[in-house]
Amino acid sequence: MGEKIKITFLGTSGAIPSIERNHTAVLLSYKSENILVDCGEGTQRQFKYAKLSPNKVTKLLITHWHGDHVLGIPGFLQTLAFSDYKKTLEVYGPVGTKKFMECMLKTFAFSGEVKMKIIELSKEGKFFDSGDFYLEAKKLTHGVSCFAYNFVEKGKLKIDKDKLKKSGLPGGPLMKKLKEGKDVSWKGKKFKFKDLTYGDVEKKVSIILDTAYDKKIAKFVDGADLLISEASFDSSFKTKAKEYN
């Protein structure tokens, strides 16, 4: 059984907010990671409503640079600066993200400092990998450079006690190597990790926000345990959907 993955919808509105719904922002929490996907206007206030701390955010994933998905960034960063944020905020987004971030922060007298590491994504695929999970991106069709994101918790290897007992292999340090997916040797004999272990299945969360219909997206989100997909227009608004891409 894997670790708990928690999703908090801080905003689910479209280009214009409503009384009930704020601009787009989704928070994915996993262990010590808190990954914010987009930061629409008013997101920092939504953290208050949700009784969550912005200071715990570790990564910001930007799907694209339309205002309704990013206009909350300056206020969010200002709050972090005032809150003695100690981490280095990792910011991922399409090519141009560095320029947009710089321009955004130059439009007003920003007080304090927030350490940031900005990574521009120029291609699809895996862009972050840790021992527990990885992140990957998929290009979408939206008029401007835009990405969908996958969060995937890796399946963990566990020792099959019955097979271990039959193998005659002793416990101890060798078990750690087997759990890391490494073959081991003992008394001149080689033991393959796949013969003595079994694995939990991966857990996958897919997030697709603004995009035109594209069959290729299906492969990217295939097998997702949770699919978060924005849907602004039904078939009766087909013309409007094409207009806004």
Q: Where do we find the tokens 């806004």?
A: 244
Judge if 122 and 223 occupy the same domain. Answer: yes
Judge if 146 and 55 occupy the same domain. Answer: yes
Domain that holds residue 95: 5-155+201-244
Judge if 235 and 115 occupy the same domain. Answer: yes
Judge if 56 and 98 occupy the same domain. Answer: yes
Give pLDDT, residue 188.
87
Judge if 224 and 142 occupy the same domain. Answer: yes
Are residues 228 and 208 in contact, defined by beta-carbon separation less than 8 angstroms? yes
Per-residue pLDDT of the chain (245 residues; tens, 9 = 90+): 567 999 999 998 888 888 888 899 999 999 999 999 999 999 999 999 999 999 999 999 999 998 889 999 999 999 999 999 999 999 999 999 999 999 998 988 888 899 999 999 999 999 999 989 999 999 997 778 899 999 999 988 888 889 988 898 987 888 888 887 889 999 889 999 989 888 777 899 999 987 777 788 899 999 999 999 887 666 666 666 566 65
Judge if 147 and 167 occupy the same domain. Answer: no
Judge if 184 and 218 occupy the same domain. Answer: no
Give pLDDT, residue 126.
96
Give pLDDT, residue 243.
64
Judge if 171 and 209 occupy the same domain. Answer: no
Work out how many domains the chain is built from and give that number.
2
Rounded to two decimals, the pTM is 0.82
Judge if 195 and 123 occupy the same domain. Answer: no
Among candidate residues 199, 215, 231, the one where a domain is terminated = 199
Judge if 69 and 84 occupy the same domain. Answer: yes
Name the residues annotated as catalytic.
Answer: 68
Give pLDDT, residue 148.
94
Token code pair at residue 167: 């193998």
Judge if 48 and 167 occupy the same domain. Answer: no
Judge if 81 and 109 occupy the same domain. Answer: yes
